[in-house]
Amino acid sequence: MSNLSTKEIFQSLKKISNIFPNKNWVIAYSGGIDSTVLLHAACQISKKIRAIHIDHRFNENSKLWAKHCINFARKLKILCNSYKLQNYKILGCKNQEIFGRKERYRIFAKKIQSNEILLMAHQLNDQAETIFLNLMRGSGILGISGIPIKRNLGNSLLYRPFLNIEKYKIQEYAKIKKLSWIEDPSNKNIHFNRNYVRNVILPHFLKRWPNTLFAINQSSKYCRDSYLLIQSHINSLIKNKNKNLSSLSITWIQTFSKIYQDSIIRIWFSSVTNTVLPRKSLKHIYLNILQAKKDSNPLLKIGKWNIRRYKKYIYIVKYTKTSSNINYCIPWNGKNGIKIPGLSIMLFSNDISHLIDCKKLKWSNVSIRNRINVKNSLNIKSKKLKKIYQKMSIPPWERDTTPLLFENKQLKIAISIKK
């Protein structure tokens, strides 16, 4: 048994200290062999460490596993916080794997501070498994580029120091250091796609082609480089022709070939939402939104986001719950900021100076109202109000929350709020 594995593991962690010298480390600690080695080795490199364990509640022994993780971390003089997920069946989720992954990353993003970096123990075998699964889903070059070594996470970063290290080297380290870890019996259940690839497919490939893991990883790097090049080019095109990233000119999009249009929409969506646009959604956008009638108001919901069309533009709008019962009329002297109900923002006179000459306003008669108040108090008919919104290019989905500035009973401007 060689100490070369130990040396390679330590080098991968020392690299993080060099790249992020001012970051404290948070270890994503499941209790399995990979994260156990990561936690143990990290303690030899840095003293500014804590761990997070996620109790998925998928196994009847999950409470014992959480206790094991807390006790193991305590022996290393490390704080380990354990967070329990809700039961995915009660919540109506059908796919255990997808639910677990989404909730896990949601908690990580919430709990990691800006002065910290989350370290995860994905290794080279995990990379090969992920790429193989993505191939079976018919993924493009982004999917085939596999697991990124680092990415943004909430207000901080996620980093995977073991991504270029083979599984057997991690196993060697654990045996040399005489570590104890959790063996999840579900990892042998080939009913799960990843386990099937891990336990059935990859062993056959490795027997025939011993260099399989490195070859797949190399191809993934080529794909990632290609994607980043395309992404940079497309983002440059978008920024040059579109002032606001949350919307794109349909006329401009349609000057490109279909291949370009697909790339523009995919990369635009990814840049705004930090998620991947599903293939079915791309087809829907092309057929039902880009080619919709000019006076239509099509809508496509994708997770927390809505794709919409207004006039000659398509928009990405984050879904937020707004109360339809808010009714306000607030006097405003222009000297101080004014809090807009339902939007959690402060509005200042400087924010509207590009829309109206504030010096010409009689501030003693100025008020800020919303659509419900205008309808109820000023008896302005819906059709007339609609024409005002259209003239000021306020999209239909923004009209209920758009503040309206009145001088006496005369509407001066509608104030579009970019949240």
Question: 406 pairs with which residues across the strands?
Answer: 367, 411
CATH code for position 180: 3.40.50.620
What does residue 335 show for φ and ψ, rounded to 5 degrees? -80, -35
| Same domain (yes/no): 297, 159 | no
Domain that holds residue 407: 329-414
Confirm if 220 and 144 have CB atoms less than 8 A apart.
Answer: yes
pLDDT of residue 324: 62
pLDDT of residue 394: 85
Provide the 10 A C-beta neighbour count for residue 324. Answer: 9
Q: Is 58 exposed, middle or buried (0-12, 13-18, 19+ CB in 10 A)?
A: middle
| Same domain (yes/no): 18, 166 | yes
Residue 189 CB partners (closer than 8 Å, separation 6+): 195
Q: Tell me how far apart the alpha carbons of residues 253 and 263 are, in angstroms, rounded to a whole number.
A: 10
Q: Tell me how far apart the alpha carbons of residues 14 and 186 are, in angstroms, rounded to a whole number.
A: 33
| Tokens encoding 358 | 């504030």
pLDDT of residue 330: 92
| Same domain (yes/no): 311, 173 | no
pLDDT of residue 1: 47
Q: Tell me how far apart the alpha carbons of residues 164 and 146 are, in angstroms, rounded to a whole number.
A: 12
CA angle, 158 then 63 then 157, to 5°: 5
Beta-strand ranges (E) seen in 42-175 are 49-55, 79-84, 116-119, 150-153, 156-159
| Same domain (yes/no): 121, 269 | no
| Tokens encoding 376 | 């109820």
| Same domain (yes/no): 180, 37 | yes
pLDDT of residue 65: 92
Handedness of CA 150, 151, 156, 158 (dihedral sign): negative
Beta-strand ranges (E) seen in 156-304 are 156-159, 247-249, 299-302
Asked whether residue 388 is assigned to any structural domain, the reply reads: yes
Longest dimension (CA), the chain: 85
Q: Tell me how far apart the alpha carbons of residues 31 and 39 are, in angstroms, rounded to a whole number.
A: 9
> What's the one-letter identity of residue 71?
N
Q: Which helix (H) or strand (E) holds 401?
A: none
* CA 134 and chain centroid, separation: 19
Asked whether residue 301 is assigned to any structural domain, the reply reads: yes
Asked whether residue 287 is assigned to any structural domain, the reply reads: yes
β pairing state of 338-340 and 329-331: unpaired
Confirm if 120 and 26 have CB atoms less than 8 A apart.
Answer: no
For the chain, the domain total comes to 3
Asked whether residue 235 is assigned to any structural domain, the reply reads: no
Residue 247 CB partners (closer than 8 Å, separation 6+): 313, 314, 315, 316
| Same domain (yes/no): 37, 161 | yes
Asked whether residue 227 is assigned to any structural domain, the reply reads: no
Q: Tell me how far apart the alpha carbons of residues 368 and 400 are, in angstroms, rounded to a whole number.
A: 13
Q: Tell me how far apart the alpha carbons of residues 316 and 309 are, in angstroms, rounded to a whole number.
A: 9
Query: What parts of the chain have a pLDDT lower than 70?
Result: 1-2, 87-95, 322-324, 418-419
Asked whether residue 223 is assigned to any structural domain, the reply reads: no
What does residue 84 show for φ and ψ, rounded to 5 degrees? -95, 130
Radius of gyration of the chain (CA): 27
Asked whether residue 234 is assigned to any structural domain, the reply reads: no
Q: Tell me how far apart the alpha carbons of residues 141 and 137 are, in angstroms, rounded to a whole number.
A: 12
Q: Tell me how far apart the alpha carbons of residues 382 and 371 are, in angstroms, rounded to a whole number.
A: 9
Beta-strand ranges (E) seen in 61-196 are 79-84, 116-119, 150-153, 156-159
| Tokens encoding 305 | 């986001």
